[in-house]
Amino acid sequence: MNDPAAIRGGPGETAPAAAPLSAVGRGRLALTFDIEHPDRPHWRPDTTDRLLDILAATGIRATFFIQGRWAEANPAVARRIADEGHLVGSHSFFHASMPLLSDSGLEEDMTRATAAISASTGMDPRPWLRLPFGHGVGDPRVMAAIERLGYRHVGWDVDPRDWDPRSTAQVIESEIERVAMSRATSVVVLHGWPSGTVPAVAAVIEALRVRGVEFVTVDQLADDELPAGIPSGPETPV
Ligand SMILES: [Zn+2]
């Protein structure tokens, strides 16, 4: 399960077609949140707390990839994520594009993130990592370095673009529901700061639950259900 060699894919590899939901009768969906310092104007400082409120009220566990620098600045919220039973992963320390770092710089950033996340949450984030921007997938040097440090990258196959200021809550919601209802497993990338994310997540949970979709954390998915890459397109996710 935690063997990094089992990570499949790279940017040039085509993922096998997911089985349609109708064939399996029930879909599984992993909500994943990149928790980081926002660099966009459309954010609210209490977004992560409001997300946790919704997840607690609905009894759903999600996966949180936490930036180390954010954890140092927000230790109480970081602790809350772990205390409420969510899966904790790393989103690096400085949120740098990993291919731009030297081997020693990459190791220093990742090790510092592990320490900061562990100190604030009480949880070891390994092996779960989301590379900032998804950069470094398919780069043998980066992938070998994160493997040495005990990590594996988790990509995504649904990007409802909550980071885009033009994405309303309705747009985010409808994109997640459209994809979730068409395949057996989905890994959705969301963020801990955009203003549209909280109402979208609340609506998605309400709409998909009644349709029998099961919400899971990424450690509940099999290796071949975890996307290593990211969808191709003009996105600039954070
Ligand atoms: Zn990010």
Q: What is the pLDDT of residue 23?
A: 44
Q: Judge whether 237 lies within some domain.
A: no
* Distance between CA atoms of residues 165 and 154, nearest Å: 25
pTM of the model: 0.87
Give pLDDT tens digits for 115-163. Answer: 999 999 999 999 999 999 999 998 999 999 999 999 999 999 999 999 9
Interhelix angle 140-148/103-121, nearest 10 degrees: 40
Q: Judge whether 235 lies within some domain.
A: no
| Rounded distance from Cα 230 to ligand 1 centre (Å) | 13
| Rounded distance from Cα 178 to ligand 1 centre (Å) | 24
| Rounded distance from Cα 211 to ligand 1 centre (Å) | 30
Q: Judge whether 168 lies within some domain.
A: yes
| Rounded distance from Cα 237 to ligand 1 centre (Å) | 7
| Rounded distance from Cα 65 to ligand 1 centre (Å) | 8
Q: What is the pLDDT of residue 21?
A: 47
Domain assignment of residue 38, given as a range? 27-225
Q: How many domains does the chain have?
A: 1
Write the DSSP string, 194-219: BTTHHHHHHHHHHHHHTTTPEEE-GG
Q: What's 127's domain CATH number?
A: 3.20.20.370
| Rounded distance from Cα 37 to ligand 1 centre (Å) | 8
Give pLDDT tens digits for 23-62. Answer: 444 699 999 999 999 866 667 778 899 999 999 999 999 9
233: confidence class by pLDDT, cuts 50, 70, 90: low
| Rounded distance from Cα 238 to ligand 1 centre (Å) | 4
Q: Judge whether 154 lies within some domain.
A: yes
Q: Judge whether 172 lies within some domain.
A: yes
| Rounded distance from Cα 22 to ligand 1 centre (Å) | 33
